[in-house]
Every structure is written in C-alpha cells, then in structure tokens.
A = this chain, B = another copy of it.
Amino acid sequence: MRRTKQDAQKTYDAILNASAALFAEKCISNVSLEEIAKAANVTRGAIYWHFKNKGEIFNALHESVFQPLSEIILQDLHSEEEAPLQLLSNLCVKLLLDITQDTSKRQMMTLFLLHWNYTGDIAKYKEPHLAKKEESLQLFAKYFEKAKADGTLPECADPMFLTISVRCYLKGIIIEYLNNPESIDLEKNAEHLIVQFFRQFNV
C-alpha cells in the first residue's frame, strides 16, 4: 500500500487537520491517537510513521500557526500611511472577525488559548511556546511606541503596559466567544468592542 510522496503529504495534512479539530474540541489529553487516526481515515501506524507521538503533533500544529500573525504585524509596522493606533485597532477587529469566519483559525485559537495545558509529555514544549508568545507581544508594543513617538500618546504612557492591556482585552473577548459563542455576537460587535476600548487612548 505504499503511496506516492504527494499521497504521503496528504495523509500528513489529514492527520494534522483531524488533530486540530479534535484537540480544539476535547483538549489534547482527551483525544486518543486511535480517534485521530479514524478521523483522518488512516490507522495509528500511519500516525506513528509521521510523528513520534501526540506531543509532536501538537508541536507541529503550533509551528504552523504562529508564523502568519507575526508577518501581518511586521507589514503593518512598515506602513507609514495610517496612524499606528488605527492600524492596531484594525488588526484587532480583523483578528476577531477572522475567528468567526475561519473554522480552522477558530480551532487553532481554541487549542492554544483554551485547551492547551502543558503537562506530562508535552510539558517540554511550554518554554519554547511561551517564548514565541513573548516575541509577538513585543511586536504589539511597537504600535504604541510609534504612537508615542508621533505624539498621539502622552509622554507618560508606557507602551508595554498598554500592550498588555490591549492583549488582555483581546484575549478575553476571544476566549469568551470561544467558550460561549452565543454570549457575544462577535460578527456584529467586534468593531464596536474594539473601537469602544480604544476610546481610552482618544483614538
């Protein structure tokens, strides 16, 4: 039953996709490799050929996610057209809307914001994953630094503090939505939620 390389890639992707959906739904430790195999239409043998164990699947998923966001931010930061806080506000709204519209992104968010928990076999990924997070946090801060530099924010403003504040708010909204989609009509309210929040900066 040996497949061609493209077929192998397909089963690799199928395993990742199935894992993402199941991990997001049930948390990593409640998903067995047998379940993943079934959902991906393969056997556990195939999984063990492509991945060392469940932890490695999890890690592969993580890597596939954290690149794209950083790229958007870096693009934004090079733009000289719009005010930085306006760009940040837009980015936040975009992130929220993305989650409502893109199943796969929603799954990833659910997995990495809600259902992760680094214990047992996957404990060793905690530090590298946290490091990646920290990196993207630093990028967020740049919006505020730019805003401060161009006088939009007062001298006393602390970019890192404001970054944390925005980040918490955004995270809180996303988590609330993921936990209980009906409680926020995010598609409708995303913009309002963000704009209202940015009022504290007089944007």
Q: A29-B27, A30-B29, A197-B200 are in contact. Are A164 and B192 (CB under 8 A)?
A: no
Mark each residue of chain A from 179 to 197: 1 if its CB lies under 8 Å from any CB of chain B, else 0. Answer: 0100110000100110011
Q: Tell me, in angstroms, the Cα distance from A176 to B175 when the chains sit together.
A: 11
Indicate whether A176 sits within 8 Å of B168 (C-beta atoms), given known contacts A30-B119, A117-B115, A200-B197.
Answer: yes
The B-contacting residues of A in range 144-175, CB under 8 angstroms, are: 161, 164-165, 167-173, 175
Please encode chain A, from 130 to 156, with 1 for each CB lying within 8 Å of some chain B CB and 0 for all others. Answer: 100110010000000000000000000
Taking a contact as CB atoms closer than 8 A, the residue among B164, B168, B176, B200 that contacts A164 in the complex is B176
Range for the number of chain A residues in contact with chain B: 35 or more
**A residues with CB within 8 A of B:** 25-27, 29-30, 114-115, 117, 119-120, 130, 133-134, 137, 161, 164-165, 167-173, 175-176, 180, 183-184, 189, 192-193, 196-197, 199-200
